[in-house]
Amino acid sequence: MNIIKKIAFILFLTLSIGAGSVTAYAEEAVNSPAASNVSETISHIEKALVEIAKSDFNAAQVHLKAARASGEKITGNEAIVKKANAIVIQGQIKTKLGDIKSSSEELNKALELYKSL
């Protein structure tokens, strides 16, 4: 009977340690720098879209520069990141030209790509 209790205790201890390590990995992935860079980039693009809608192109340019800087720090899924960064650059160019409709369309495309990460 003593052997059964020891085996049950060891099994329980092993399972609880294993479950704790899985939780730690999941928490690390959520708080990773890549995730914060993605959310920061999304935030700047959304703020730029608001400024473009107000026709405040100077403030939009500031947010787009910040979005490009944080977008370059994103790691993983290189093809999507590269494409999204290129679209942000196109949106930035169209914003400099004062084209509200085209720049908003480009930035919304980039926003969708960043949200897919």
| Number of domains composing the chain | 2
Do 3 and 46 belong together in one domain? no
Do 74 and 102 belong together in one domain? yes
Do 9 and 51 belong together in one domain? no
Averaged pLDDT, 40-54: 93
CA distance 50 to 56: 9
Scanning the chain, the segments in alpha helix (DSSP H) are: 2-30, 33-53, 57-71, 78-96, 100-116
Q: For residue 53, what are its two tokens? A: 């809608």
Quick count: other Cβ atoms within 10 Å of Cβ 98?
11
Do 56 and 109 belong together in one domain? yes
CA distance 80 to 39: 15
Do 19 and 68 belong together in one domain? no
pLDDT at 18 (0 to 100): 61
Do 27 and 37 belong together in one domain? no
- pLDDT tens digit sequence for 57-113: 899 999 999 999 998 888 878 899 999 999 999 999 999 998 889 999 999 999 999
Do 7 and 21 belong together in one domain? yes
Do 26 and 38 belong together in one domain? no
Instruction: Give how far Cα 66 sits from Cα of 9, 41, 86, Å.
Output: 54, 8, 14
